[in-house]
Amino acid sequence: MKLSLTPLRGLAAVALLSLAACGGTADGGTTLKIGDQLHALKSSLDVSGEGLPTDYKIEWANFVGGPPIIAAQTGGSLDVGWMAETPLIFAQAAGSPVKVVAVSKTIDGGGSPYSLVVKPDSSIRSVADLKGKSVSFMKGTVLHYFVARLLEKQGLSLRDIKPVQATGFGTGLLDKGSADAITISEPYLTQALDAGKVRVLASGAPPNTPGFFYLVASDAALADPAKAKAIGDLVQRAARATRWQRENPSKAAPALAKRYNVGVDIAEKILTRAPAQYAPIDDTIIAAHQDEADLFFKEGLIRKKLDARAIFDKRYDSVIAAQEVAK
């Protein structure tokens, strides 16, 4: 069964949770408008002490999924967005004016903030058992690729299942029997596992997905010298914040617990499940992105074969490398 992707501009209209300014623009100053998801990037910066730059302002907007963030960047209302890698496949295929400027990846041996799960008593015991079954995921996101990748490894494709568009978070579709298997992300994953409500069929950890999160800048912002400089500072702050959270999960947990409205113990489990670090954009990152693009081309979900190198801008690689070694 072939899925048609909702146009990015339409997604932007329905998926925007809130657009709240967190600081205005000083006369003659620079403001970066950043698209976040579940306040994840902002919270990471704030809890690590990296959330208050001195020579530019930040305005935050909160979205569900990367596609509407890219739509907002294309429309000129956002400068930077935070997302997993999959939306960039469709952005490049559509000619969206954006570039990946920084990459966070799961450290070797780390887990994943998302999984494919079933009910504990489900007869589905492996990915191969999904043939003919209903599987829920959000189209155009990394969860879309996650399912496609798992199926491909079993000699199957998205045409061998009944795709169900995820309409929210949590286990609702599974609880109601509207899907036989669902993709689920944090904090709902850890909560459902602790409550014994789900059984993991497959983790999103590498090699099932690359384990990437991207900072994505609009071409317009990168062409503006003041904004490009501010983006460079943001990249450094994000790298330092990610390292701080990885090295101090118990200190970071209370802030995450407040953000997700969960217990501190759950928050610490979330932080330690998928430790990450920022890394320069090297050939391994580009190759993993290319593999993903090639799979979507094979599935017929994009119409042309892409050159993944064209979506990356490496100008901030040196500052990213410096933040991981700096103490």
13-52: per-residue pLDDT in tens? 333 433 443 433 333 489 999 999 988 899 999 999 999 9
Q: What is the pTM of this model?
A: 0.84
CA–CA gap between residue 115 and residue 132 (Å, rounded) = 20
Alpha-carbon 289 to chain mean position = 13
Distance CA 209, CA 76 (A): 30
Can you tell me the distance from the alpha carbon of 202 to that of 112, in angstroms, rounded to the nearest whole number?
10
**Cα distance from N-terminal residue to C-terminal residue, the chain:** 51
Question: How many alpha carbons fall within 13 Å on the CB side of residue 6?
Answer: 16
Token pair in block for residue 107: 């450290």
Domains and CATH numbers, the chain: 8-108+212-325 (3.40.190.10), 114-203 (3.40.190.10)
Find how far residue 198's CA is from the centre of its chain.
22
Give the pLDDT confidence of 182-228 residue by residue, as tens digits: 999 988 999 999 999 999 999 999 999 999 999 999 999 999 999 99
